Amino acid sequence: MAGISILLAGCAAFDPEARSDSGKILVGVGTPVPAAGETQSVATQRADAADDPEIWVDPKDPSRVVIFGTDKQAGLYTYDLSGAVTGFIPDGRLNNVDLRGGLATANGERVLVAASDRGRIGAALYLMDPATLKVEPWGLAPLDLAEPYGLCMGRRGDGFIVIVNGTDGQVRQLRIAVGADGKPAATEEQRFAVGSQTEGCVVDDAKGVLYIGEEAKGIWRYDLDPAKGAARVLVAGAPSIMLKPDVEGLTLLREGEKTWLIASSQGDSAFAVWRVDGAQPAYAGRFSVVAAKGVDGVTGTDGVAALGGAVGPYAEGLVVMQDDVDVDGEAPSTARVRQNFKLADWRAVKAALGL
């Protein structure tokens, strides 16, 4: 690993993605929420590596939880709720990850996991057996993007949808099915341009809505139905009191009839929250994750994932986010060595924001 670290450090002058995205500010400016846990650091050190998490819970047994996380220089991790690594697939430059359950295959139902693949230029696809929690590579959906960056997934009827965007703001929407040979079959449904660099995105399956973060401009809402075209509505602009560029990860959390949109405001290490189940988004405030229980606070965050309902001991939901500097006593002068993912209890977020 030392050799990898030295190599990445040497390449940093040539590859901007080998450097941190954040200014390593001391603490986020949002309402404080205590960290509830953290994962082991990703193996790649001295580089911008940990990027995006996702959460899976067994719908029949909420004690069975898998946290996915990308090391965008090396591959895909899985963790348990204690933060221990339970698996790693060395698939190279994977950036964002998302999943949907219920994919029917010849071997039974599987969880479809997808990650934007900047090395092979496409969407890397994986299948997880919900019985064993084993994750295996399934294939690649090639794309004509200059550099696949953000990725999110959705369901429309029985269809599995994968959306991938590029560093130039181009977006591709694919429908993924199981082919006659058992391998993935990808069909492009639509393509459009956001305008400038984008990454974070999330799909509201219930409303058929796609949210995309344009890093320097804000959050846009699109219709997932390709027949509706690329018409869009601005949910929140940036820079603003809600978002300080870069606008990074986006996620949705459902609790009963309520749906919350959470956005990673990387420029000030905060997370903005809106209620989005109504006709118009309703802004609900901002929070930042601070040090607690021996876990350091979150700075310069990138990807974020959330899941409502029981998630192991998190009775009402869990939020997981990337942390740019995984050390105690973070300061602007801290020499970044490693990165990981932090956990926050949704009950603590609700209490902090009065939701």
CA-to-CA distance for 92 and 167, rounded, in angstroms? 18
pLDDT value at position 325?
85
- Is residue 291, in this structure, part of any structural domain at all? yes
Bridging pattern class, strands 258-265 and 270-275: antiparallel
Q: Which residues contact 322 (CB under 8 A, 6 or more apart)?
A: 50, 51, 52, 53, 69, 249, 264, 298, 301, 302, 303, 304, 339, 340, 341, 342
Tell me the residue type at 108: G
- Is residue 27, in this structure, part of any structural domain at all? yes
- Is residue 10, in this structure, part of any structural domain at all? no
What would the two tokens of residue 66 be? 């898998």
The whole domain housing 196 covers: 18-353
pLDDT value at position 8?
33
Q: Which of helix, strand or coil describes residue 221?
A: strand
Residue closest to 245 by CA, chosen among 197, 209, 206, 277: 197
- Is residue 277, in this structure, part of any structural domain at all? yes
Q: Are 288 and 9 in contact (CB under 8 A)?
A: no
**Residue at token pair 């075209």:** 229
- Is residue 241, in this structure, part of any structural domain at all? yes
- Is residue 1, in this structure, part of any structural domain at all? no
Q: How much is the pTM?
A: 0.92
From first to last of its 355 residues, the chain has per-residue pLDDT tens of: 333 333 333 333 434 444 445 555 556 789 999 999 999 999 988 788 999 999 999 999 999 999 999 999 999 999 999 999 999 999 999 999 999 999 999 999 999 999 999 999 999 999 999 999 999 999 999 999 999 999 999 999 999 999 999 999 999 999 999 999 999 999 999 999 999 999 999 999 999 999 999 999 999 999 999 999 889 999 999 999 999 999 999 999 999 999 999 999 999 999 999 999 999 999 999 999 999 989 999 988 899 999 999 999 999 999 999 998 887 655 555 566 889 999 999 999 999 999 9
pLDDT value at position 152?
98
- Is residue 101, in this structure, part of any structural domain at all? yes
Residue 70 belongs to a domain with what CATH number? 2.120.10.30
- Is residue 4, in this structure, part of any structural domain at all? no
Measure the CA angle with vertex 94, ends 210 and 204; round to 5°: 15
pLDDT value at position 48?
82
Query: How many domains, in total, are found in the chain?
Result: 1
Beta strand residue intervals within 244-316, DSSP E: 247-255, 258-265, 270-275, 282-290, 304-308
